[in-house]
Structures are given as structure tokens and as C-alpha cells.
Amino acid sequence: MSGFGSSMSSPNNDHAVPLPPTCDGISSLNWSPTANHLVASSWDNAVRYWDCQVAPPSVSSQPAQWQVLPKSESTAHTKPVLDTCFSPDGRFVFSGGADKTVRMWDLQSGSTDMQQIGAHDAPVRCVGFCQEKQLVVSGGWDKMIKFWDCRSPTPAGSFQLEE
């Protein structure tokens, strides 16, 4: 087994993304829309961010090997993180979790702090980004869908799903 920061490959051309030994199950994975970056949320309250690059094969008959390098990790959530998404420019990662919060991580800041931009009355199950309106959308186990302008702590809009 390889450790955090190394990679493995198999004869089937499968590649393992390295996780620290403390990592619990993965709840979501998302690729950056602008670079070979991967973000994962997990049940151990963390959001992890990797740089994934393809190394050229040493022999032309060999498949290319992935190099997966950890870039950063945030543990701003206080309970499991259930979903993540990137902003269209790849600068921000948005997350929602069992702590009922919607958070924003500015990857260019170099900080692992995540700003809370919204909240639900129950765990936040999914997050997305509406490029046209520049809003984050979240869905919670409270049966609410909420739209967030990152500059305001109150929803820009919301609606409740029926039973």
C-alpha cells in the first residue's frame, strides 16, 4: 500500500489516489474545469485537493503513469463533508456537509480556511454552481434547495420540496 503523496498503478491501468491513513470513506469527487486538479470530500470532515499529472511512459509500449500529488486539505467542516463542486474558473471549491453548512474554499489564497456562505436546517447533501447567475446552489435533507450569493449570508432564493 502506498502512503499519502505517492501513487500506485496496476496492470489494468487503474491508478490509486493516495489518501492519508486517517481518511474515512470518500463521499464525492470532482475534477477542476480548468486544470488536472481533483477534489474529494470525505466522512472524516475533510476536503482534499490534489494535482494529477500524467508522466510520459518510459517505454513507448507502456501506458502513461499518473502522478497524484496532494496540494492541500481543509478540515473546516465539523462533521462529514457530503459533496463538493468547483467554480467554473477552478479558483473556488464549494462544499456541503452533515454540519448543515455550505462553505467556500479559495484555492488561490494558499489558506486551508473555508468561509461559511450558507446553512440549512439539516445536513447539506449536494452543492452546485450556476454559472449564468454566479450563484451556489445547495440541497439539504431539510427538503430545501437554496441559492447563495457568496457575498451575503442570506439565501438569494430558496424553495421547499413537497413531501
Provide the total of helices (H) and of strands (E) in the chain, helices listed first: 0, 14
Give pLDDT tens digits for 62-83: 777 778 889 999 999 999 999 9
How confident is the model at residue 8, as a pLDDT? 44
Neighbours of 157 (CB within 10 A): 12
pLDDT band at 6 (very low <50, low <70, confident <90, very high): very low
For the ranges 6-10, 69-73, 87-91, 103-107, the lowest mean pLDDT is seen at: 6-10
- Classified as helix, coil or strand, 107 is helix
Task: Inform me whether the pLDDT recorded for 31 exceeds 60.
Answer: yes
Domains located in the chain, CATH noted: 25-49+73-160 (2.130.10.10)
Q: Which one has a higher pLDDT value, 20 or 149?
A: 149
**Grid cell of 122 as nine digits:** 439539516
The C-alpha cell 472524516 sits at 44
Task: Inform me whether the pLDDT recorded for 55 exceeds 80.
Answer: no
Listed residue (51, 40, 42) closest to 85, CA to CA: 40
Report field, pTM of the whole predicted structure over 0.75: yes
Span 1-18, average pLDDT: 49
Cα 40 to Cα 125: distance, rounded to the nearest angstrom: 14
**Are the CB atoms for 121 and 100 separated by under 8 Å?**
yes
**Grid cell of 135 as nine digits:** 450563484
How confident is the model at residue 2, as a pLDDT? 40
Average pLDDT over the chain, rounded to an integer: 87
